[in-house]
Amino acid sequence: MIPYINEYDTPECKNLAETAKKSIRTPASMGLDRCIQCGACTASCPAARFTDYSPRQIVKRVMENDRSILESEMIWSCFYCYSCNVRCPRNNSPVTIVQVLRQMAINEGIGVEKLGYFVEIGEYLAGNGASKIPGAGIQNMERDLGERWVKFKKNLESIRVELGLSSRDIRNTHGEVQAILEGTGYFEREKWIKAKIQEKHVNQLLKTQCSKKEDTSGDFGFESDREYTGHTALII
């Protein structure tokens, strides 16, 4: 179990809907029970336009207490823009429900590999506050925005001078952020997450190796026959 689980964040309830409603993340006015499955949330969702993500389906599965949703890749496609919440005629908030579902999944060790990038952000915050972008973030920007962004990044200082801005301020937080993260148990959670990610990688590697062995064991097909080093066939 992950250290420092907040019982107010993911309270133990009889079903997913009750957990979502009673979480400290969820406002009392949220209209989960009033959902009419109109699809306005999915229609307004930027992620739904480009992926299989569907806020409407997530709410439906929560109302049906379908716990398999915790293992679905779908809950990791939301990026918290709150468009679904704004457009809902019943004041429901699929984005809030997704936040609760993600935390429930993480508590059970599901999807922890998704947190690798965010763990790195925490480490940067401890040393520099919010003034420095983690290396993984820069790689993502290069991948998504391409050469134009790379050129911008390399010439950032001269661009700032041209705009009349001072040099970038990489701040020394004097240990204040570090103390806050330590006091809230962040580093214990980080340690647990890293161990779970490593465990998943090892299990996946073992699974892959076992699959390869199963594919080749007892194989007397053409490829195996070619490796036979016995006597040359007698030609008559």
Q: What count of other Cβ atoms lies within 10 Å of the Cβ of residue 93?
A: 25
- Residue 41 above 50 pLDDT? yes
**Residue 214: what pLDDT?**
58
Tell me if 62 sits within 8 A of 101, measured CB to CB.
Answer: yes
Interatomic CA distance for residues 203 and 32, integer angstroms: 37
Lowest mean pLDDT: which of 69-83, 95-109, 146-160, 217-231?
A: 217-231
Q: Count of domains in the chain?
A: 2
Q: Are residues 104 and 118 in the same domain?
A: no
Share of the chain above pLDDT 70, in %: 85
Q: Are residues 25 and 105 in the same domain?
A: yes
Q: Are residues 164 and 84 in the same domain?
A: no
Q: Are residues 98 and 151 in the same domain?
A: no
The residue-averaged pLDDT of 56-66 equals: 97
Q: Is residue 202 part of a domain?
A: no
Task: Give the range of the structural domain holding residue 167, as residue numbers without chain letter.
Answer: 114-197
- Residue 124 above 90 pLDDT? no
CATH of the domain at 73: 1.10.1060.10
**Residue 153: what pLDDT?**
81
What tokens appear for 86 in the block? Answer: 């704004």
Q: Are residues 177 and 105 in the same domain?
A: no
Which of 44, 79, 110 represents a domain boundary (last residue)?
A: 110
pLDDT digits (tens, 9 = 90+) for 147-193: 888 888 888 888 888 998 887 766 677 788 889 988 888 888 888 88
Task: Name the amino acid, one letter, at 63.
Answer: M
**Residue 29: what pLDDT?**
93
Q: Is residue 185 part of a domain?
A: yes
Q: Is residue 136 part of a domain?
A: yes
Q: Is residue 216 part of a domain?
A: no
Tell me if 25 sits within 8 A of 96, measured CB to CB.
Answer: yes
Between 157 and 103, name the one with better pLDDT: 103
